Amino acid sequence: MKDMMRSAMVIARRDFSAVIFTRTFLFFLLGPLLPILIGMAFGGLSEKISNDSLRPAMGLSMPPAQAARMLDAREAIARRIGADHISALKAAPWPADPQQLLARSDAGYAAVVSGSVDRLVLTGQRADIARLEGDVRLIASAAKMRATLPEVRVERNPVALSASGQAQARLTTGRAAQILMFLLTMLLAGMVLSNMVEEKNNKVIEILAAAVPIDAVFLGKLVAMLSMSFIGIFFWAVCALAGMGLLAGPGFALPTPAVGWPVFLLLALLYFAMAYCLLGSLFLGIGAQAATVREVQTLNMPVTMGQMVVFFFATYAVDHMGSAPEIAAAVFPLSSPFAMIARAAQDTALWPHVLALAWQALWVALIIRMGVWLFRRHVLHSGTKRPLFRRRSPPAS
């Protein structure tokens, strides 16, 4: 056992150095940040477009006294419900024909409100009238009632703890941890597949198999890719914290999980390592059997789809703590890391995590052993390579 671990560390250092000290690894670190930046830019743009399209401005062509009442009422409503939730009013020439005002290219509004507070006229296209009529009625009602409707002040009574609010916040933390773990696992574990196929095609795997046990080769490659993944996660976490510090502001605080942040972060790292090793060992076994990159791509899709089904099963179990589906998700090896990290966010007990980590480590060892057995049987058996997909020979005539 000691010799095998020593050999596995030699393989891990070899693969780790071959990946880290390359220029492509820098692009690997920066690659996930570019879609995030582009998504943030397009998200802000789409939100602005959505607000502009859903709440277009209206021109206000009324006598000065009537227009002042409408503008004051609109500002009062905007202070209460937010300026983005009520259409804007822009002063328009008065007296004027509303149709001529809308025909102007520099008008800047989609409809024109004319008449008086007691008798409104809304001029515009049918679709714009249907969208804006409710806002016009609300503003006019506030303008009519402003003299008799006093502004009611609400006394604030904040509390330090709310049981239902805390439970909902912890549920949100668990779901966010699950999604983040799943995305990182699917992003990073797939590299194990191509790594094994390349070394098989280059005959390197045969040299390694002759020098060290196959178990050490599999374990070493898994440790090397996991170590590389931790470097990427550390870099992305630093960037995420820096971005949150710049964008969120000083008052921003994430919901505290049930076990506390230090223990939760430690469990998150351990469960990510287990999820990565479970999926990575499965990918290693597949890559060891595949003879070409095409076979790897063919097998990658069903494995990925199966892992997505497992992830959805784990997310379903989050809302049913202690139920049969949640226990099944915690016991099934591939879904266990995702189910247990959600449990850590909602339950203070630590002993289930010790059992779960030991259970997941056992399955990692079993999957590696199964991959090694298949590799010896189909690839190294009698010095010949047996392809994973074999064509049947036509029957003899």
Summarised one tens digit per residue, pLDDT across range 266-288 is 999 999 999 999 988 888 887 77
229 shares its domain with 291: yes
Considering 116, 145, 174, which residue would you say is the last residue of a domain? 145
124 shares its domain with 84: yes
Number of domains in the chain: 2
DSSP string covering 3-44: HHHHHHHHHHHHHHHHHHSSHHHHHHHHTTHHHHHHHHHHHH
318 shares its domain with 201: yes
388 located within any domain: no
- Average pLDDT along the chain: 79
185 shares its domain with 290: yes
Average pLDDT over residues 63-82: 85
Instruction: Report pLDDT for 272.
Output: 93
8 Å CB contact between 378 and 386? yes
**How far is the C-alpha of 152 from the C-alpha of 40, rounded, in Å?**
39
Residue 259 vs residue 392, higher pLDDT: 259
Output Rg (C-alpha) for the chain, integer angstroms: 31
**How far is the C-alpha of 121 from the C-alpha of 189, rounded, in Å?**
63
Instruction: Report pLDDT for 237.
Output: 85
24 shares its domain with 101: no
**Least confident residue range of 46-55, 130-139, 300-309, 347-356:** 46-55
198 shares its domain with 57: no
**How far is the C-alpha of 264 from the C-alpha of 174, rounded, in Å?**
10
Instruction: Report pLDDT for 96.
Output: 85
**In 210-267, beta strands by DSSP E:** none
396 located within any domain: no
| Model confidence pTM above 0.85 | no
pLDDT in tens, 153-189: 777 777 666 666 677 778 888 888 898 898 888 888 7
Provide the domain limits for residue 92.
Answer: 53-145
247 shares its domain with 367: yes
**Least confident residue range of 6-15, 285-294, 313-322:** 285-294
- Give the tokens for residue 335: 């879904």
Which amino acid is it at 192? Answer: V
100 shares its domain with 191: no
**How far is the C-alpha of 336 from the C-alpha of 181, rounded, in Å?**
12
66 shares its domain with 9: no
303 shares its domain with 346: yes
394 located within any domain: no
220 located within any domain: yes
CA angle 81, 82, 88 (to 5 degrees): 110
Angle between helix 261-289 and 336-346 (nearest 10): 170
Residue 389 in this model has a pLDDT that exceeds 70 = no
